Structures are given as structure tokens and as C-alpha cells.
């Protein structure tokens, strides 16, 4: 049996006199080792891509975190220097990809920027600089030259009973890292909250009535997928969903 293929979003970056469509290695390693899937990078070429053909060829979609934010024009906000940086080529690719993946029943895991894209794609909005809101924790990474310190496990999140993630983690709390300054504001109409931080910040969502696994998390499970149980389990659950989708599709083809 072939290894399942998972389409992975890319950031557009300019350096070394080139324009790169790039992904941090931690996401690729977690996909390979913890989910057991083969990550395939999707260049951020927006409507030049045939996303229907892409989704007919892969078994899952993973949206990565990024330094950039979703452009506020996609949810009725206004862009400013403080809210950036932006990556509009990524927005033009991931927002329609999310909607098409959900409609096609292709399993979806959205991480950090990914959950924000997911919320915007489904009609929600985002709040910026949430650490400035009264009663809200500082969810930004601590200042440190060490990535391990920046991505250290920092606070608990409460898993909603009876939800998709309760089937992954069980009821109660898990501990996660926190590397963001934006968050879900108005929840998309077809989304439900799966987990919250102690201050009420939305930490995970899922798509109501989705035909396949469709989950977004605000934390970064990819960084500790090799050593942290909760991080490993979210990728394992995604990998299981990807394999189930591939098996169902292969079975349907064989029956024709």
C-alpha cells in the first residue's frame, strides 16, 4: 500500500535573491514520524492551482503556523503595520483550499495560523494583540534565542466533553505551548469550540457535521510531536483519519 499523501501549506518568503515557498521542518517531521504520512508542499499560487485536482490526488491537508497573519480584508478588518506581516499569496491559496477540503471530506489539520485561516475561511473573524485585552494571558512566545524555550509547554487547555478532541485526549485538560498574538474572535458559523485556555481564548475548533476529521488547534503540536504525548496523539489521530480516507477512496475505486 502506498504511503498516504498530505498537502501542506507554504509561506512565501524572499531571501537569498529568490522567492521561496517554504515550510519549517518540524511540521514535515511530525507528519512523517507522528502521523505516518508523506507531506507534499503546495506552492502558494492561489487561483492558478487546480485545487479540486489536488484534493483528488492527496489523502489529507495540513495547514502550518507562520509569522504572517491572515489579511484583515478577508474578515472585514483593516490592515495596519502593527497587525502584519501578511502573506496574501498564502491567503489566496489556503482559504479556498480549506473550504474545498471540508466539502470533499478530505481530513484537515490546521495549526496556529491554520486555525485562524480556518475560522476566516468559514466566515469568522480574528482579534489582534489579544494580550492587551483585560483578563487575557500573554499568549506570545517568551523572548529567547532558544526555539525550545520559545515553544516550551506553558499552560493548560480544557478539552470540551463530547467533542472531536475528547475522543483524542479524553475529558479534562492537556498542557500546550503558546506562540501567538492573534486569536479567534467571532467564531465561524459551522465551527464549534473544542478547547479553551484558562482565560477563555479559543484553543481548538472543529467543523460541525464535517464528513471527515477537520480540526484546528492554536498551539504547536509539531514542535514536541516526538516527545510530548498530547502533541503526538493529535498527529496520530490525523494520520488515522488520513488513512481511513485513503482506504475508503481506494475501496470505492476498486468497486467500480
In degrees to the nearest 10, what's the CA dihedral of 193, 197, 198, 201? -70
Q: Measure the CA–CA gap between 216 and 94, rounded to whole angstroms.
A: 13
- Catalytic annotation, pick one of 117, 194, 203, 222: 222
- Catalytic annotation, pick one of 71, 139, 180, 220: 220
Q: CA triplet 128, 29, 184: central angle to 5 degrees?
A: 15
3-state secondary structure of 73: helix
For 133-164, give the DSSP string: STT----SPPS-S-HHHHT---EEEEEPTTST
- Catalytic annotation, pick one of 112, 164, 180, 194: 112
Conformational region of residue 37, where left means phi above 0, alpha means psi within -120 to 50, and beta covers everything else: beta
Query: Catalytic annotation on 112?
Result: yes
**What's the DSSP call for residue 59?**
S
Query: Catalytic annotation on 220?
Result: yes
* CB neighbour list of residue 26: distance below 8 Å, 6 or more residues apart: 220, 222, 223, 225
As annotated, the active-site residues are 112, 220, 222
Amino acid at each position: 500500500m502506498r504511503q498516504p499523501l498530505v498537502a501542506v501549506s507554504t509561506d512565501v518568503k524572499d531571501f537569498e535573491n529568490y522567492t521561496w515557498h517554504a515550510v519549517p521542518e518540524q511540521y514535515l517531521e511530525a507528519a512523517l514520524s507522528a502521523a505516518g504520512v508523506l507531506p507534499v508542499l503546495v506552492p502558494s499560487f492561489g487561483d492558478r492551482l487546480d485545487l479540486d485536482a489536488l484534493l483528488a490526488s492527496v489523502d489529507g491537508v495540513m495547514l502550518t503556523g507562520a509569522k504572517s497573519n491572515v489579511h484583515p480584508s478577508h474578515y472585514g478588518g483593516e490592515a495596519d503595520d502593527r497587525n502584519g506581516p501578511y502573506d496574501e499569496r498564502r491567503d489566496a491559496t489556503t482559504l479556498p483550499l480549506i473550504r474545498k477540503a471540508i466539502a470533499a471530506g478530505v481530513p484537515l489539520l490546521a495549526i496556529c495560523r491554520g486555525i485562524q485561516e480556518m475560522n476566516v475561511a468559514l466566515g469568522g473573524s480574528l482579534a489582534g494583540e489579544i494580550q492587551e485585552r483585560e483578563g487575557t494571558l500573554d499568549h506570545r512566545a517568551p523572548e529567547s534565542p532558544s526555539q525550545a524555550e520559545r515553544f516550551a509547554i506553558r499552560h493548560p487547555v480544557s478539552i470540551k466533553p463530547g467533542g472531536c478532541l475528547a475522543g483524542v485526549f479524553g475529558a479534562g485538560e492537556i498542557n500546550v505551548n503558546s506562540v501567538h498574538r492573534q486569536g479567534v474572535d467571532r467564531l465561524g458559523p459551522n465551527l464549534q469550540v473544542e478547547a479553551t485556555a484558562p482565560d477563555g481564548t479559543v484553543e481548538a475548533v472543529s467543523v460541525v457535521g464535517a464528513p471527515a476529521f477537520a480540526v484546528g488547534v492554536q498551539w504547536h503540536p509539531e514542535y514536541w510531536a516526538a516527545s510530548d504525548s498530547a502533541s503526538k496523539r493529535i498527529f496520530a489521530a490525523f494520520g488515522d483519519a488520513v488513512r481511513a480516507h485513503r482506504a475508503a477512496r481506494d475501496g470505492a475505486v476498486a468497486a467500480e
